[in-house]
Amino acid sequence: MMGRLRAAGTLSTVAMVAMAWLLPGTAHASELHIKEAEQGKCLDIVGDSPNDGAPLQRFTCKASENQLWDPIQVRSRVWLLRNPHTGRCVTAESGAFGAAVVMHPCDGNNLAQQWIASGTFGLGGGGNTLQSGLQFQNCLDTFSNLVKVFTCTSSGDRLNLAQIWAVVN
């Protein structure tokens, strides 16, 4: 009996360690770039700010912490875009046309932080539009170099490259 309990305890410990390794936000989380197609620049936290409300921009890709992301799948095609160094997530400030996109503490239930991919999102998944969970007609977009939400205009073979994003190394 004692041997079975010890074996069950060992299996439980192994299962918990395996689950911790798989869960988003652990030390094993991916650190990837999110690149937009129009200029080939990366999603970037302005000024490398760790602060709540820090704005986002597209910027020349580099290996800095403010450009590394851990895309977390909430459910089919729905993602949180978490910066592992700040622990904050990409957030639409509102559902309004042209609303700013900033960083706020991650909350998987917050629709303003949920981004719906048009296809397979993740490393090797190709380019996607990312619709706001707050307003489905709005997509992650850029205005000048600032990241905002604007009406989704990519459809079929007509692409708005400022609204196409891909996860890359």
Residues 69 and 151 occupy one common structural domain: yes
Give the per-residue pLDDT at 160. Answer: 93
Q: Look up tokens 């986002």; give the residue.
A: 56
116 and 99 within one domain: yes
Confidence of residue 158 (pLDDT cuts 50, 70, 90): confident
Q: Are 46 and 104 within one domain?
A: yes
Domain that holds residue 15: 1-30
Q: What is the pLDDT of residue 51?
A: 97
For residues 123-131, average pLDDT: 90
The answer on 35 and 7 residing in a single domain is no
Q: What is the pLDDT of residue 155?
A: 74
For the whole prediction, is pTM greater than 0.85? no
Q: Are residues 8 and 81 in the same domain?
A: no
Q: Is the pLDDT of residue 96 over 90?
A: yes
Q: How far is CA 114 from CA 12, 86, 90, in A?
A: 32, 18, 8
Task: State mean pLDDT over 79-108.
Answer: 98
Q: Which ranges constitute the DSSP H helices of the chain? A: 2-22
25 and 40 part of one domain: no
99 plus 72 within the same structural domain: yes
Q: How many domains does the chain have?
A: 2
Kindly state whether residues 42 and 21 are assigned to the same domain: no
Residues 16, 41 within the same domain: no
